[in-house]
Amino acid sequence: MTIAPKLLTAATDLRTSTTAQRFDGHTHGAGVAVSFFLNHTAPGGGASEHRHPYPEVFVLLCGEATFMVGGVQVAAQAGQVLVVPAQATHSFRNSGTGSLEMISIHPAAEM
């Protein structure tokens, strides 16, 4: 039996109605137990306060973001990684002057 890899194109296969592309492990990964967003957020934009039953990892590739995690403000920039604990209320906004390019990783097959 041959197992073939699955190649996806973010702009088409992961397209959403927002500024982020979305990979759901249960849908796109044939049982992969991880999901993620590829965030492309304009200055001032971001995600409102929410929480998950699992931790979330943010990898900042370009730009700056201000996070609120459990009532604590955290400033982060390109080259940094922020880990938000499971159940922690969190939000972020692009606090820079250019696009915020960031990956948010969810260790779950379904978000």
Count of residues making up the chain: 111
Contacts 24+ apart (CB under 8 A), 9-17: 10/38, 14/38
Q: What is the pLDDT of residues 8-65, one digit of tens each?
A: 899 899 988 888 999 999 888 677 899 999 999 999 999 999 999 999 999 999 999 9
Token output for 26:
């249960």
* Residue 14 · residue 23 · CB < 8 Å: yes
Q: Is 32 helix (H, G, I), strand (E, B) or coil?
A: coil
Q: Write phi, then psi, for 100 (nearest 5 degrees).
A: -95, 115
Query: Has this prediction a pTM greater than 0.85?
Result: yes
